[in-house]
With several copies, the nearest count.
Chain A
Amino acid sequence: MAVETNLMRKFLNEPALVVKQSLAGLAAAHPDLLRYDAAAQIVVRKDAPKKGKVALISGGGSGHEPLHGGFVGTGMLDAACPGEVFTSPVPAQMLAATKAVDGGAGVVHIVKNYTGDVLNFKLAAEDAADEGVKVTSVVIDDDVAVQDSLYTAGRRGVGATVLAEKIAGAAAESGAGLAQVTDTVKRVNERARSFGVALSSCVPPASGKPIFDLPEGEIELGIGIHGEPGRKRATLQSASDVVDVMVDAVISDLKPRSGSNLLVFVNGMGGTPLIELYLLYGEVDAKLRKAGLKPVRNLVGSYITSLEMAGASLTVLELDDELTRLWDAPVHTPALRWGV
């Protein structure tokens, strides 16, 4: 282990225990919001199950913190199922989470579109149905860097996941039924698009080696959140050139009505500091306004990350009044909090 940690610039004990130890720390820091069930490896909202409330759960590989455990709390997720780093959780986790949060009104599974996540959630949903829990699943696939097609795995789920969890969580908190909450997740996914870029790779604790090697001065365009290489590699441009690429990719695919209200989410990949994210936001905001669009809400920070990767992603959600109201509704989780 000493050897492995020496290959990395990480605070780490036994690499195999990083997920469990980080979750234990999350629970120790936020006992008022959530509890960590170490046996089932799930993070559960403290007051779950809420009788009569539709419950939301999500999950996926770890390494994307605060996603998903940091979004468990009032007005967002009822439970999170963290897998090993970059490896989707197993059906037993989703089943345990589903049963722990079901208040009788049904449970929505928010699934990022990765084969592993989709297949494991599928098996879990079957098991849950066998046990008589009403479960719906929505697959998030907002990453425009991936060309979609009937014959492929389709687009990845990235930034829109955070927005869907917040917005649908507000709907559930306000008493919406299973069909309506499910539909809200779908609407966010339909009206949101994302595009990410990396300035460095990241180092999974287990291997202790960078996933890909990106020389200084080069940039990966169209990356996901698992340290995978992007669609193409280019030489590093100025921030405003990078913003042009991100905004054009997202807007040309989303095709928002001109003059429409947008939620703009500038996300850091884990190793990029806020001084740069705000610089990017300034460029994005100006470019969108020039295009006749209205960034009326925004989120700037590292909310869906790829370990310590240097990089950023842009997610744009076209808002309507209801989505705006649900975004503004109170939320109280370790990573997102307002109105309470």
Chain B
Amino acid sequence: MDAATITTWMTEIESSVRAEKDHLVQLDAAIGDGDHGTNMARGFEAVVQALAADTGSPPGRLLVVAGRTLVSTVGGASGPLWGSALRAGGRVLGDHATFDGDQLADVLAAALASVKDLGTASLGDKTMVDALEPAVEALRARLAAGDPVDAAIEAAGTAAEAGMRATIPLQARKGRASYLGERSIGHQDPGATSTALIVRALQRAVANRG
């Protein structure tokens, strides 16, 4: 996998976030302030533009640029969180022109670590962590078990969606939803939902690699 994989990943995220924009807004309106869909769409639209301008950078560098772009265009909680996540993930790849499955797992693990570090959320707090952490673990486990990267990332997507659905019964402890206390129970977390979209987008990008 190489720079094209990253560019495709970002384009895939942009189109699926745009397609799911209203759904994400509805989810956020129920337990937040109704802007998650707009925030993510605005951010990844800017990322796609930024990467279009960038020609010939290595994949790690592209992820850093994508992260910076999110930080500088999204605002809200998701901007700095996903922004730092992609920056951290990009640094893992350094200047390598290509990367393999294990390195991809390292990228996602670094992204997860930076989200948890910045946001201080743990599994079960009803945040994006609840989708991202199971995805990282599934990816690692399947690769360790010798599965090909496509199968492993497919499992990661399934794990992310399971984690996303698992947020429904939870009471939020982080983010705006936590202000609702028990009223946050019974609603799916918007950030976990967009995270599942992001992992599924990665799966398509990996599948389409040259």
Interface residues of A (CB under 8 A from B): 61, 83-92, 114-116, 119-120, 122-123, 143, 145-147, 149, 151-153, 156, 204, 206-207, 209, 211-212, 224, 226-229, 231-232
Give the total of B residues in contact with A, Cβ under 8 Å. 34
Residues of B with C-beta under 8 A to A226: 33, 176
Other-chain contact of A115, B38, B39, B77 (Cβ < 8 Å) = B77
Other-chain contact of A152, B72, B174, B183 (Cβ < 8 Å) = B174
Known: A86-B35, A153-B174. A120 touches B181 (CB 8 A): no
Other-chain contact of B80, A119, A151, A156 (Cβ < 8 Å) = A119
22 A-B residue pairings within 8 Å (CB atoms): A61-B75, A86-B35, A87-B33, A87-B35, A90-B73, A115-B176, A116-B80, A119-B81, A119-B119, A120-B79, A146-B178, A152-B174, A206-B35, A206-B38, A209-B29, A211-B29, A211-B33, A226-B176, A227-B33, A228-B33, A228-B179, A231-B181
Complexed CA–CA distance, A224 and B128 (Å)? 23
B38: nearest chain-A partner, CB-CB: A206
Complexed CA–CA distance, A212 and B175 (Å)? 18
Please report which residues of chain B, range 22-63, place their CB below 8 angstroms from some CB of chain A when the two chains form the complex: 25, 29-35, 38-39
A-B contacts besides A87-B76, A90-B75, A119-B119, 9 pairs, CB < 8 Å: A83-B76, A90-B74, A91-B72, A91-B80, A119-B80, A120-B80, A153-B178, A211-B29, A228-B32
| B109 at interface, CB cutoff 8 A | no
Complexed CA–CA distance, A229 and B125 (Å)? 19
Known: A116-B76, A228-B180. A204 touches B173 (CB 8 A): no
Other-chain contact of A204, B34, B79, B80 (Cβ < 8 Å) = B34
Main SS of the interface on chain A? loop
| B104 at interface, CB cutoff 8 A | no
Other-chain contact of B29, A90, A115, A212 (Cβ < 8 Å) = A212
Contact A123 B25 (CB under 8 A): no
- Shortest C-beta distance, A97 to chain B (Å), equals 14
- Shortest C-beta distance, B160 to chain A (Å), equals 21
- Shortest C-beta distance, A57 to chain B (Å), equals 16
| B144 at interface, CB cutoff 8 A | no
A63: nearest chain-B partner, CB-CB: B33
| B118 at interface, CB cutoff 8 A | yes
Complexed CA–CA distance, A48 and B181 (Å)? 42
Residues of B with C-beta under 8 A to A229: 180, 183
| B71 at interface, CB cutoff 8 A | yes
Residues of B with C-beta under 8 A to A206: 35, 38
Please report which residues of chain B, range 1-18, place their CB below 8 angstroms from some CB of chain A when the two chains form the complex: none
Main SS of the interface on chain B? helix
- Shortest C-beta distance, B82 to chain A (Å), equals 11
Q: Which of A87, A120, A211, A227: most chain B Cβ within 10 A?
A: A87
- Shortest C-beta distance, B120 to chain A (Å), equals 9
Residues of A with C-beta under 8 A to B119: 115, 119
Known: A87-B76, A92-B72, A211-B34. A114 touches B181 (CB 8 A): no
B76: nearest chain-A partner, CB-CB: A116
Complexed CA–CA distance, A204 and B181 (Å)? 23
Contact A88 B76 (CB under 8 A): yes
Contact A204 B35 (CB under 8 A): yes
Contact B175 A153 (CB under 8 A): yes
Complexed CA–CA distance, A123 and B74 (Å)? 13
Contact B75 A83 (CB under 8 A): yes
Residues of A with C-beta under 8 A to B81: 119
A127: nearest chain-B partner, CB-CB: B71
Contact A123 B179 (CB under 8 A): no
Complexed CA–CA distance, A262 and B181 (Å)? 30
Contact B176 A231 (CB under 8 A): no
Complexed CA–CA distance, A194 and B173 (Å)? 21
A59: nearest chain-B partner, CB-CB: B75
Residues of A with C-beta under 8 A to B173: 149, 151-153
Residues of A with C-beta under 8 A to B77: 88, 114-116, 119
B84: nearest chain-A partner, CB-CB: A123
Residues of A with C-beta under 8 A to B175: 115, 153
